[in-house]
Amino acid sequence: MAAAGTLLRGLPLVPSVVLLVAFLAGPILYCIYSAFTDMALTGSSSTEFVGFDNFVRAFTSPAFGQSVVYTVIFTVVSAIIGQNVLGMLLALLMRSGAKVVRALVSAIVIGAWVLPEVVAGYLWVAFLGPDGSLNGWLIGLGLPTQNWLFTTPILAVSLANIWRGTAFSMLVYSAALSEVPKEIEEAAVVDGAGPWRKLVSVTLPMLRRTIATNLMLITLQTLSVFGLIWTMTKGGPSDRSMTLPIYAYQQAFQFSDLGYGTALALVLLLIGGVFSVVYLRALRLEENP
C-alpha cells in the first residue's frame, strides 16, 4: 500500500523524468566523463583519459584563479545585489504605483530582458564607451570623463547584466507578492507596525522561499553569462573581466580543448553549488523531517 501509494504519487513526475532521462541524462554523464579526457572537436583524432589532469591544470593556473575571482565579483554585484535588490524594489513599488506607470515601467524592464544578448552588449558599449552618452552627460555636468569599459570593466559588465537581468527577479517577486495574503500585512499595520517593520518582519519572511529560489536561479544564470561580456569586453582589457565562462570558452572553442573547458565548467557548477548551500542555510529552508 505504502509503496504503491508512493509510486502513484510520483506519477505526475513521469513526463518530466522521461524527457530528462531520454535527452539529458546520457549527454550529461558523457559530458562529465569528457572533463577527465583530452577530448577535442578538432586538432586531434583520438581522445584519451587523463584523470584529474584538467583539474590540476586549472588549479595551478593563475589565469584560472583570477577568473574565479572575477566570476564571484560579477555574480555578487550583478545578481545577488543588483538584480535581486532592484527586482524586489521594483516589485514592491509596483504594488502601489499608478496603473499607467506600472505598465510603462514593466514593459521597459521586460524590453531590456528580451533584446538579444549581443545587442544588449552593443548598447552598453555605446552607452559606456569613450564617446558614449554617459561621458557626454559627464561633460555637460563638468565632471571628468573616462572609458568605463577600460577603467572598470568588471563593474561595467555587471551594470549591464543588472540592466538586462532584473526583469526576471521583478517578475518572480511580483508574482510571489501577489500571493501574499493582504490580511496578514493589514493585521501588522493595525498592530501599529511601521512600514519598514512590516516589510522586514512580515512581508520578507513570507517570501523566504521565493527569495532563496530566485537567488539560486539568478546565481546559476549569472555564473554562466557569456554573450554579454564577450560582446562588451571579450574578457579584457588585460583579462580584467575574464570570468570563468569566457575563460572556458576560449579553452574549449578557440583552443579546441573541450576536455579542459568542460572541467572548468564543472568547477563553475561547484561554485554555483556553494552559493546555493549558503542561500538554503541562510534562509533556513531545510525541510525538517
Partner 1 sequence: MATQVDRPARWRGMVAMAAAGVLAAGLTACGSDSGDGDANTITVSYRQWGDSRIQENYLTGVKTEFEKANPGVTVQLEPVVASEDDYFTKLQLQMRSPRTSPDVVYEDTFLINSDIEAGYLRPLDDQLADWPEWERFTETAKGAGKALDGKTYGIPDGTDTRGLWYNKELFAQAGLPADWQPRTWDEVLTAARAIKAALPGVIPFNIYAGKAVGESASMQGFEMLLYGTGDTLYDDASQKWVVGSKGFTDSLQFIKTVYDEGLGPSAQQVLDPNWNNTVNQQLLPQGKVVISLDGSWISQNWLDTGAAPWPQWSTVLGNAAWPTQQGQAPGRVSMSGGWTWAIPQNSDNPDMAWQLIALLGDKDRQLRWAVDNVQIPVRDDVATDPSYLQANPTNEFFASLVPITTYRPAYAVYPRISNEIQVATETVITGGDVAAAAQAYDEQVRAIAGDAVQPAP
Partner 2 sequence: MTATDLPSRPRAAKAPAAPTTARPHRRWVGRSVVNAVLLVIAAGYVVPLLWVLLAAFNGTAGLGVDWPAPWTLDNFRAVLDEDTTYRPMWNGLVLCGSATIITMVCSVLAAYPLSRYRSRFKRPFLLTVLFSTGLPITAIMVPVYGLFVQLNLIDTTSGTILFMATTALPIAIWLAKNFMDAVPIELEEAAWTDGASPMKALRHVVLPLMWPGLAVVALYTFIGLWGNFFVPFILLLSNDQLPASVSIYTFFSQYGQVVYGELAAYSLLYSLPAVLLYLLLSRRLGGAFTFGGAVKG
Could you tell me the smallest distance in angstroms from the CB atom of residue 239 to partner 2? Answer: 20
Which one of the spans 51-59, 61-69, 113-121, 149-157 is the region binding partner 2 (CB under 8 A)? 113-121
Q: What angle do helix axes 153-178 and 117-128 make, rounded to 10 degrees?
A: 120
Distance of CA 50 to the CA centre of its chain: 31
Which one of the spans 175-183, 216-224, 251-259, 276-284 is the region binding partner 1 (CB under 8 A)? 251-259
Report how far residue 101's alpha carbon sits from residue 99's, in angstroms, rounded to the nearest whole number. Answer: 5
Handedness of CA 27, 32, 33, 38 (dihedral sign): positive
The interface mask with partner 2, positions 134-173, x = CB under 8 A, is --x-----------------------x--x----x--xx-
Which one of the spans 56-64, 144-152, 235-243, 247-255 is the region binding partner 2 (CB under 8 A)? 247-255
Pick one of partner 2, partner 1, none as the site partner of residue 255 (Cβ within 5 to 8 A by kind): partner 1
Q: Confirm or reject binding of residue 28 to partner 2 (CB under 8 A).
A: yes
> Which residue type does 124 have?
W
Which one of the spans 70-78, 142-150, 234-242, 269-277 is the region binding partner 2 (CB under 8 A)? 269-277
Report how far residue 265's alpha carbon sits from residue 167's, in angstroms, rounded to the nearest whole number. Answer: 26
Pick one of partner 1, partner 2, none as the site partner of residue 279 (Cβ within 5 to 8 A by kind): none
The interface mask with partner 2, positions 71-110, x = CB under 8 A, is --------------xx--xxxxxxxxxxx-xx-xxxxxxx
Which one of the spans 51-59, 132-140, 146-154, 234-242 is the region binding partner 2 (CB under 8 A)? 132-140
Report how far residue 75's alpha carbon sits from residue 221's, in angstroms, rounded to the nearest whole number. Answer: 9
Pick one of partner 1, partner 2, none as the site partner of residue 141 (Cβ within 5 to 8 A by kind): none
Q: Confirm or reject binding of residue 284 to partner 1 (CB under 8 A).
A: no
Q: What's the first-to-final CA gap in the chain, in angstroms?
A: 21
DSSP-derived letter for residue 130 is: T
Q: Is 229:247 a contact under the CB 8 Å cutoff?
A: no
The interface mask with partner 1, positions 143-182, x = CB under 8 A, is ----x-xx--------------------------------
How many Cβ atoms sit within 10 Å of the Cβ of residue 151?
Answer: 11
Q: What is the CA radius of gyration of the chain?
A: 23
Q: Is 245:72 a contact under the CB 8 Å cutoff?
A: no
